[in-house]
Amino acid sequence: MKGIATKLPDAVRIGVCAVFALACASCSPANETDVSAVATQSHPDALYRVETNHSIVIRGESVDYKAIAGETLLYDMAGAPVASIFSFSYIRTNPADAERPVLFIFNGGPGAASLWLHMGAVGPRRLVLDSEVNPSNVPPFGVADNPYSVLDVADLVFIDPVGTGFSKVVGAGNTSDFWGVDEDANAVAQFIELWLDEYGRWNAPKFLMGESYGSIRAAVLPRALMGGPFYTGVMRGVTLNGIILLGTMLEARTETGAPVIDAALGNALALPSIAATAWSHGKGGKQDLEFDELYAAAHAFATGTYLEALHAEAADGLSDRERESVKQQLADYSGLATEDLGETLVITPRDFAKQLLQQDGLEVGIYDSRYTMPLANSGGDPVADDPVADDPAMGRYVPGFVAAFHQMLRDDLKVGLKRPYGAIVWKDLLNAWNWERGGVADGQSYAVDLAWAMRRNPDLRLLVAGGYFDLATPPSMALHAIEEAGLPADRVEIKNYASGHMLYLGGTSEAFADDVRSLILASGGEANGQDASP
């Protein structure tokens, strides 16, 4: 499998998870008070571990916590170490509570480390940029306390899967043991099991948060955490209280990682985010509508008239008159001229990103279409365009995330490892990723895994969060997958935000954090003795 990042359809072509945070007026230093001794990594059993103590104010409450950055060994069935998972644990110390909720957090890719959610959403420290949208991508960048962290209601564990961050294969391990859907889930499940053992948290309410490919990992993990004879071959017996999905991608995948979805349906489900983008830039014929009205109308048109027209077009059953009518409505929603739409009635996110503001000399972002870059010298070839540097959103905020994380790593967490931290690792990992699965039907979506988990666990709740301006993983696609799988509506909450793939970016961090906090408190967080209302 070669070049997976360029073989996927535009709506999910990259599938790499990158995230970002609010800007603020000032950057405050961490309240670090103590650093423990650090072990050296001389052999697999000598684990690197450093602990620091801090304090933060969240929602007017002083929260004391310890931060533990370090390695956890994974083992094969013979008890030999095969991998080292590096994680960042934040544990509240006022009060310390063995039954306090724990939120396990990871990003996507596959190949992305957890620094994106770490610095952008719920961690106690966050990146500070000079603008909410379209910030500068050159230093200096800031690091500040995150007043929207959910550390007040749950302890936080950020997990870097094998091959990302500082996590690596050791001993008798092989990358093929970890680089695959089932393999990855089993490894993360073993890490969670070991973490619960080490910190005595088996009786704590447990939650997962996964972004982009991390939403697939989160959908598969309940099965790996419970265990069984036909899947993992071991019984772990770990159940979950809640799962939070961001930048959600639940479609089934082929052996090359391409999404399994009807082409017409995929094109239709991308339209609401296209319409939201056009409206936000003052384009199209729907400017008289309020945003909520616009998005609802676009969704209704996309899943009704537009989808029917795409199927009819494929079957040569669309008259010229019908085609022109649909094209005019597409122009109104997309902001594109009818002559730019062509005869196929298909608008791909990649073409749309380059066409919408071409008269202004700008291109909009796939990961967040509020972001822009000059259209000139952008290439235009899916192979030539770099999926990070040439994306108007990724190119803007990735440098800030990476720089701020490394600053926090050194100054706040006192981590002094002398090897690179893999923020996103494509080399070797993507080409080797095993998309084949055990015990599921061909073409089965990952939403079905969630349906299985919610059947087996009647207390499991799900929050599916999306960004209206996400052209990589449009929220409509996640909604469709969930509806098709028949998840219990009374335990599933769908929340969309005026943001992109990193939906807590650009003024939405507080709202997202409050929704996560509400889920935790309503799904087992009563152990904190706190009210469930935000």
- The identity of residue 370, as a single letter, is R
Percent of the chain with pLDDT over 70: 88
pLDDT tens digits, 440-461: 998 899 999 999 999 999 999 9
pLDDT grade for 526, boundaries at 50, 70 and 90: low
The span from the CA of 284 to the CA of 505, in Å, is: 25
pLDDT for 290 = 96
CB neighbour list of residue 226: distance below 8 Å, 6 or more residues apart: 235, 236, 237, 238, 239, 456
The span from the CA of 100 to the CA of 93, in Å, is: 11
According to DSSP, residue 257 is labeled S
Among 522, 515, 461, smallest CA distance to 488 is for 461
Among 98, 103, 105, 106, smallest CA distance to 202 is for 98
Residues facing residue 495 across a β-bridge: 465
pLDDT for 381 = 61
The span from the CA of 16 to the CA of 388, in Å, is: 9
Of 314 and 380, the one with more pLDDT: 314
The span from the CA of 269 to the CA of 299, in Å, is: 8
Which of the residue ranges 243-252, 253-262, 421-430 would you say has the lowest mean pLDDT? Answer: 253-262
The span from the CA of 340 to the CA of 328, in Å, is: 11
Query: What DSSP element (H or E) covers 260?
Result: strand 259-260
pLDDT at 4 over 50: no
Q: What is the mean pLDDT of the chain?
A: 88
The span from the CA of 490 to the CA of 492, in Å, is: 6
Among 501, 338, 134, 353, smallest CA distance to 362 is for 353
pLDDT tens digits, 54-65: 999 999 999 999
pLDDT for 34 = 42
Contact in structure between 313 and 344 (CB atoms under 8 Å): yes
DSSP result, 441-482: -TT--HHHHHHHHHHH-TT-EEEEEEETT-SSS-HHHHHHHH
Contact in structure between 141 and 404 (CB atoms under 8 Å): yes
Q: What's the rounded mean pLDDT across residues 375-396?
A: 81
- The identity of residue 175, as a single letter, is T
pLDDT at 15 over 90: no
Structure tokens at 94: 């006022």
CA atoms within a 13 Å half-sphere pointing along the CA-CB vector of 46: 6
The span from the CA of 406 to the CA of 130, in Å, is: 18
Q: How many CB atoms lie within 10 A of CB 229?
A: 8
CA 328 to chain centre: 35
Percent of the chain with pLDDT over 90: 76
Q: Which domains does the chain have, with CATH numbers?
A: 4-257+397-528 (3.40.50.1820), 261-395 (no CATH)
Structure tokens at 398: 């990735």
pTM for the whole structure = 0.90
Give me the helices (H) in 87-180, please: 115-120
Give me the helices (H) in 336-445, please: 349-355, 394-411, 429-432
Q: Is the peptide bond before 229 cis (omega within 30 degrees of 0)?
A: no
The span from the CA of 121 to the CA of 398, in Å, is: 15
pLDDT grade for 379, boundaries at 50, 70 and 90: low
pLDDT for 528 = 44
Structure tokens at 58: 């969240």
Contact in structure between 211 and 467 (CB atoms under 8 Å): no
Q: What's the rounded mean pLDDT across residues 429-448?
A: 93
The span from the CA of 466 to the CA of 477, in Å, is: 10
Q: What's the rounded mean pLDDT across residues 72-90?
A: 96
Among 208, 212, 243, smallest CA distance to 492 is for 243
Q: How many CB atoms lie within 10 A of CB 495?
A: 16
The C-alpha angle 299, 303, 305, rounded to 5 degrees, equals 105
Burial of 322 (C-beta count, 10 Å sphere; 0-12/13-18/19+): middle
pLDDT for 341 = 86
pLDDT at 389 over 60: yes
pLDDT for 50 = 96
pLDDT grade for 378, boundaries at 50, 70 and 90: confident
* Phi and psi, residue 229, nearest 5°: -70, -25
pLDDT tens digits, 200-234: 999 999 999 999 999 999 999 999 999 988 888 88
The span from the CA of 26 to the CA of 389, in Å, is: 28
Q: What's the rounded mean pLDDT across residues 253-274?
A: 93
Residue with tokens 């990259």: 14
Q: What's the rounded mean pLDDT across residues 329-336?
A: 96
The span from the CA of 395 to the CA of 485, in Å, is: 35
pLDDT grade for 382, boundaries at 50, 70 and 90: low
pLDDT for 534 = 41
